[in-house]
Structure 1
Amino acid sequence: MRTKHLILILIGVIIATLVFIVFGPAGEPNDSFKHIVVQTHQQLKEFQENLRVGLERKKLELDPKYLLLLGFTSPLSTKDDASQQPAESGKQKQVQTDVPVTSKRELQQQQLMAGRGQAAEQELLLLQQVEQKSQRKRITTPYNNTKSNFTIVSYVQEGQVSSVILLAQNIAAKLPNESLLIYDLGVSEEQLRSLNACCNSSRCTVITYDLSEFPSFVSDQRTHAYRPIVIKDALMRSKSILFLENCMRIRGSYRDLQQLQNRALVAGVLGWNTPTAVSSRTHPKMFDYFESDAENFIFLRMVDLDVVFFADTLFVTEKIMLPWLKCALTMECIDPIGAQSNGCKFNKKPLYRYSGCHGYDASAFNIVLGLTWHLDDTKYSLSSDGTKENLFYKETLEQAIKILESRRRNNSDTSDHPFTED
């Protein structure tokens, strides 16, 4: 009770003091009140300045080391970045980073050989085994050899091998003369052996790509920030690519695919749009990083990334891949605070309002496309009016596992797998 009385008395004293400060003696200038006004005005100015600085910090930048890993060696590609390094400097940097590792390894070997007998030899053998194992974990260096004309590209993560095996079989059956490039993003040794056993022809290649050189959030399956990395690396290996999620299957003919490929070579990017507005599937904070606003995208249809054609042109590299990768490698851009991948509410009116469900890399991709083509989706996408379903279809991971298990049991029933059906 005493504590309550003391608190009430203290509150009364504070209120009386504030009243005295504000009103003060009649007819006398109130310096305290003026001081409060001045301080408040200064704080407001500081808040506005901090807000302005905060917005400026939302400009996308990319660390030069990531530019080199992704093959951006042209001064044109890095003109917006603080440091511009040509291809030669990138190679020099790579050599310089490799030298200390080699020197350290040689030093360890010399120390071990100078050790005591059999124990030293066993330790050296163990060191070599660890090095051989770590070679698989090394990131793929930028590709600069001869490019193929066209490649189908996908990726596989832990637990998805069944799906990508069926994709490889689907491509071999429908498009036997086309190359398939599969990016291993961290499957186990056992699953990798299973994949290599299936992908054992000259038309099928598995590349182990280690994402650990990039920020840790890039590997998050929720954000899919690794997809633009895979696509950029594939574009260094081929003049044009068809990127497929490993759950997608082809049912169209080679002629259909070739027509789309020719159109993609002209446009640079070609996908299929959906009825959903970009503003409905994009967290409002992502637009700040592209110096735009959600209201500009309320009538722009969103292109999904299940099936997309890309051409390796300077236009695509500079205008599409570079800004897309800058966002994908900036956590606050690709994954704004409050973003989530589920809980979509598309019944909100108007329908272009943010649904509460963020598209992460797909959202960034669509913002870049919209800004590049001035919000005209006919320049880079086709309408999903049934043409996509005539050419492609989706097979869930659960279906893929079931199909492979049936085949292992020598089950001849093919009704579970419709890709052989016309």
Structure 2
Amino acid sequence: MRTKHLILILIGVIIATIVFIAFGPAGEPNDSFKHIVVQTHQQLKEFQENLRVGLERKKLELEPKYLLLLGFSSSLNTNDASQQPLANAQQQQQQQQQQQQKTDTPVVGRHAEQELNELRYQGSNSLQSATNRQQKSQRKRITTPYNGTKANFTIVTYVQEGQVASAILWAQNIATKLPSEYLLIYDLGVSEEQLRSLSAYCNSSRCAVITYDLSEFPSFVDDQRTHAYRPIVIKDALMRAKCVLFTENYMRLRGGQRELQELQKRVMVSGVLGWNTPTAVSSRTHPKMFDYFESDADDFNFLRMVDLDAVFFVDTLFVTEKIMLPWLRCALTMECIDPIGAQSNGCKYNKKPSYRYSGCHAYDASAFNVVLGVTWHLDDTKYSLPANAAVPMFYKETLEQATKILESRRRNSSSTSDHPFTED
């Protein structure tokens, strides 16, 4: 609102200046006119400075509790200003621990913070532990950072309300192609009935459904338009496995174990591996997003965009520090992930040259690609493969197709192939 008023004032000053020029006494010195010009320039400079400072402040501010919930720690030894919230968060945790030791009472906080304290400080009050167990038994969603034994490799997806049919066929497809691999499905808000249906197909030691709580994060995170929850899901999965293959639940695997092993070897070198598209990053990224990464949109004119439909990630310090942290900081900052004027439809790819902004923003995928470009100095060969391979690794199956296939199989329910998971 302040900015709007300031702009209106500046417009009024400019109009007044034009009037003075047009109707003022010709050839006579006009101190008032000079004063107005000086004031106008000064206000313009102050306005630009306020915008610059405001943008820097937004880039640096991120609530420490989000970093804690996502499992970041002080082991990230970088000089980037983003590490300040980590130090503040750790100091806050130490203060809470000291206060708890002095008063011998549980720390009061939201459910996620209670779970976090229970995990890190096992000596918590037994009443608090009992309360947490009771809440979990009532299908309370979790955001507590995982601290158990990691799997070597896991294939990960998520499911939202109305997408269960697609998630079921995703699990069946991978169980057929890669029967020895572990699967994780993140429940981001399905109904109890749909969860029971999904659990019937994913109820073994090799397939698990994790009910994850997004309510502890900013309210815009669960917006299906921005997909800001995807980096959160991937970061949590990287705390559970040393290497993950993240895919959307509409992706279906065409290759097998041999192709997977070749890709795993390659991703171990780079830490991240996806498939690029002919679209330039600058074409699908709102120009205001680049400011948050202190980069120039023109530098991304010829950088191919990596699709987030299927991407490999390795849990290394490099990936955590250089990829996941800046990506999540943008995803949890509304002005970064969803700049004013951004939209997800109305793409105009017929603009010349083709790398011009199409008017269609890719939100979390745009942020991911900017981070990759900055990290690898605009060399997409370091972290991606061409999407137009002779035999693609994946293919897509729409939700409508998945629903029809599942209904058809249910009508012919005598087949046991509907439940491919076993404990073997």
The equivalent position to 1:340 in structure 2, one of 339, 343, 352, is 343
Mapped pair 1:393 → 2:395: yes
**Largest Rg, 1 or 2:** 1
The equivalent position to 1:147 in structure 2, one of 150, 153, 157, is 150
Q: Deviation at 1:132?
A: 4.2
Mapped pair 1:68 → 2:76: no
1:87 & 1:61 partners in 2: Cα distance?
A: 16
User: Which residue type is aligned with residue 407 of structure 2?
Assistant: E
- What's the CA shift string for 1:243-295, capped at 9, x where partnerless? 01000111211011011011111110000000000001111111111111110
Is the 1:74–1:86 Cα contact (8 Å) retained in structure 2? no
1:180 partner SS: strand
Mapped pair 1:321 → 2:324: yes
2:270 & 2:254 partners in 1: Cα distance?
A: 24
- Quote the RMSD (CA, aligned, Å): 3.0
Mapped pair 1:100 → 2:108: yes
Is the 1:21–1:33 Cα contact (8 Å) retained in structure 2? no
- What's the CA shift string for 1:180-215, capped at 9, x where partnerless? 011000110010111111101100011100100000
2:48 aligned partner: 48
Is the 2:154–2:243 Cα contact (8 Å) retained in structure 1? yes
1:404 aligned partner: 406
User: Which residue type is aligned with residue 342 of structure 2?
Assistant: A
Mapped pair 1:210 → 2:227: no
Mapped pair 1:156 → 2:159: yes
Listed as ranges, the gaps of 5+ residues in structure 1 are: 1-13, 103-127, 414-422
1:21 & 1:168 partners in 2: Cα distance?
A: 77
Q: Deviation at 1:20?
A: 11
- What's the CA shift string for 1:41-85, capped at 9, x where partnerless? 332332232233234235354211000000011252686243405
- What's the CA shift string for 1:144-194, capped at 9, x where partnerless? 111110000000000000000111111111111100011000110010111
Is the 1:58–1:288 Cα contact (8 Å) retained in structure 2? no
2:95 & 2:309 partners in 1: Cα distance?
A: 38
2:128 aligned partner: none
Cα distance, 1:341–1:33 mapped onto 2, change above 3 Å: closer
The equivalent position to 2:242 in structure 1, one of 231, 239, 248, is 239
2:268 & 2:64 partners in 1: Cα distance?
A: 29
1:168 & 1:22 partners in 2: Cα distance?
A: 78
2:249 & 2:203 partners in 1: Cα distance?
A: 18
Map 1:2-401 onto structure 2 (within 5 A).
18=20, 22-23=24-25, 30-76=30-76, 80=81, 81-83=83-85, 84=87, 90=93, 93=96, 99-100=107-108, 132=135, 135-387=138-390, 389-401=391-403
1:78 & 1:134 partners in 2: Cα distance?
A: 40
Number of residue pairs matched? 371
- What's the CA shift string for 1:214-264, capped at 9, x where partnerless? 001000001000000000000011000000100011121101101101111
2:353 & 2:287 partners in 1: Cα distance?
A: 16
Listed as ranges, the gaps of 5+ residues in structure 2 are: 1-15, 111-130, 416-424
Cα distance, 1:406–1:89 mapped onto 2, change above 3 Å: same
2:215 partner SS: helix
Is the 1:280–1:354 Cα contact (8 Å) retained in structure 2? yes
Is the 2:285–2:357 Cα contact (8 Å) retained in structure 1? yes
Cα distance, 1:317–1:19 mapped onto 2, change above 3 Å: closer
2:12 aligned partner: none
1:64 & 1:72 partners in 2: Cα distance?
A: 10
1:174 & 1:90 partners in 2: Cα distance?
A: 45
1:98 & 1:73 partners in 2: Cα distance?
A: 23
Cα distance, 1:93–1:251 mapped onto 2, change above 3 Å: farther
Identity %: 77
1:52 & 1:265 partners in 2: Cα distance?
A: 39
In the superposition, the TM-score normalised over structure 2's length comes to: 0.80
In the superposition, the TM-score normalised over structure 1's length comes to: 0.81
Is the 1:139–1:213 Cα contact (8 Å) retained in structure 2? no
1:77 & 1:136 partners in 2: Cα distance?
A: 37
User: Which residue type is aligned with residue 185 of structure 1?
Assistant: L
User: Which residue type is aligned with residue 371 of structure 1?
Assistant: V
1:321 partner SS: helix
Cα distance, 1:143–1:303 mapped onto 2, change above 3 Å: same
